[in-house]
Amino acid sequence: MTSSPNIISRKGPDLRRVFPVPAQPAPRNRLAAAAPWLVAACIVGYALFAGGYPATVVGFALIYAIFVSGLNIFMGLTAQVSFGQSAFAAVGGYASAILTTQYDWGWLPAMVAGIAAALAAAFAIGYPTLRLKGHYLSMATLAIGLIAHEIAVEWESVTMGYLGISGIPPIDIAGYELAGDRAILIMLSLCVAATVFAVSRIRSSRLGRAFAGLAGSEDAARALGIDVARYKLVSFLLAASFASFSGSLFVHVVGYVSPEVFSLHMVILSFTMLYVGGIGTVAGPVIGALVVSALPETFRAFRDYQDLAYGTALILLLIFAPRGLAGLFAALDRKPSSDRGKGGTAP
């Protein structure tokens, strides 16, 4: 920090008596703060124990948790909206699929190449639109989602069109292939943990504060020297790289990719997860992904009704419970208030 005119250390008149302030909120209840993580651990633990179908469902949920966490950086922390994150997942997924099956790349360089390609695409879309009002980006991203789908369908020589690409190898570490239910689940849990760690670090950093500032008021953020357009772009690029990462994980876990994987269905599902879990919170995307996936219909046959259910649920959440399950956990957090800090007489 630079040196500055020192105005802080001067002891002035006690202004606190003049500006009475309401009581401090009660200190956070540690158990309530841990509650979402306990719920998540229980679901993953059960899947690890049970294996088989539950493990598959929870595995998909964990991949979505990463995707939605990225979306949350852009929407929750930065208050911008993108309808085309599925495109970046598609870029990652197809890069991994094509490079590992047709060019014999290792999974890691393929994944990194996918993220680089997603970043390039996000930059091309984000740089012009993020300088403009929010709806330009919304529509441009919705368009790019459809374009990605179209390219996946039309560019048959590379993507195999509707047929899709199969035979994608599982991720291997030191020659050991992560192919079993439990091995995959553990690997995905570690990926989610790393994602959550990154999001929580970002949230409480200077970068996260810049996001929060421009989310709260763009004018005020600019007046404090925050380059709003630049930070929106950074946030968008972060979201795109998490999307690409999750797309790569998906194709390695499933061993197959087709255009249907990254459709508008994926977009609406991820929004529902984000709002169920609680937008803007670190745990929200993980809880939302696990809870929405655990609902019995999600990955079963009633595909026709799924989008209807998610769309309706999303509208209801937006109207009636915009904070999602995070609001519920916050309610648990309320404890009878202590005497501390009442009426502006705090020490």
Partner 1 sequence: MTACLDVRDATRSFGGLVAVNAVSFQVMPRSVTAVIGPNGAGKTTLFNLISGAIAPSSGRILFEGTDITREAPEAKAARGLIRTFQLVKLFADLSAVENVKVGFHLRSRGGLLAALLRPRRVRGMEAAIERRARELLDLVGLGAAADLPASALSYGQGRLLEVARALAAEPKLLMLDEPAAGLNADETARLSSLIRRIAEGGTAVLLIEHDMHLVMNTADDVVVVDFGKKIAQGAPDRIRQDPAVIAAYLG
Partner 2 sequence: MDATLIGQSLVSGLGIGCVYGLIGIGFCVIYNASGIVNFAQGAFVMLGGMITHVLLVRGELPYGLAILLAVLIVALLGVAVERLVVRPLWNRNAPMFVMILATLAAQIVIERLTYLAIDDQPKTLPVFTDLPPVMLRGIAVNMQSLWIVAGSLAIVAALALFFKTTRTGKAMRACAINREAAALQGIPVHSMLALAFALSAGLGAVAGIMLTPTQYTAFDIGVPFAISGFIAAIIGGFGRPFGAFLGGLMLGVTQAGAILAFGAGMKTIVALSILLLFLFVRPSGILGPAK
Considering the rule CB under 8 A, would residue 337 count as an interface residue with partner 1? no
Q: Which residues bind partner 2 (CB under 8 A)?
A: 75, 79-81, 83, 124-125, 128-129, 131-132, 134-136, 138-140, 142-144, 146-147, 150-151, 154, 264, 268, 271, 304-305, 307-308, 310-312, 314-315, 318-319, 322
Within residues 94-153, the interface with partner 1 by CB under 8 A covers none
Q: Indicate the residue among 60 and 245 with the shorter CB distance to partner 1.
A: 245
Q: State the nearest-atom distance from the C-beta of 324 to partner 1, in Å.
A: 15
As a dihedral over the C-alpha atoms of residue 22, residue 325, residue 185, residue 265, rounded to 10 degrees, the angle is: -130
How far, in Å, CA of 245 to CA of 186, rounded?
17
Distance CA 97, CA 114 (A): 10
Instruction: Record the tokens describing residue 36, joined without a space.
Output: 């979402």
- The correct pick among 154, 156, 177, 227 for binding partner 1 (CB under 8 A) is 227
Contact assessment for residue 93 and residue 257, using Cβ atoms and an 8 Å cutoff: yes
Judged by CB under 8 A, the stretch of 94-102, 196-204, 262-270, 283-291 that binds partner 1 is 196-204
* 222 vs 265 by CB, closer to partner 2: 265
Residue 207 within binding range of partner 1, rule CB under 8 A: yes
Which element (helix H / strand E) includes 166? strand 165-166
> Hunting for tokens 């876990």 — which residue is that?
253
Number of shown-chain residues binding partner 1 (CB under 8 A): 51
User: Binds 45, which of partner 2, partner 1, none (CB < 5 to 8 A, cut-off by type)?
Assistant: none
Tell me the closest approach of the beta carbon of residue 217 to partner 1, in angstroms: 4
Our CB check for partner 1 shows the closer of 38 and 224 to be 224
Angle ∠(334,61,175) on CA atoms, nearest 5: 125
How many angstroms separate the CA atoms of 293 and 166, rounded? 24
**Which of partner 1, partner 2, none binds 2 (CB below 5-8 Å, type-dependent)?**
partner 1
Under a CB-based contact definition with an 8 Å cutoff, are residues 119 and 242 in contact? no
Q: How far is it, in rounded angstroms, from Cα 187 to Cα 319?
A: 37
Q: Which residues, at least 6 apart from 17, have a Cβ–Cβ distance to it below 8 Å?
A: 344
- Summarize as ranges the residues that interact with partner 1 (CB under 8 A): 1-2, 4-10, 12-16, 18-19, 21-22, 24-25, 198, 201-202, 205-210, 212-213, 215-217, 219-228, 234, 238, 280, 341, 344-346
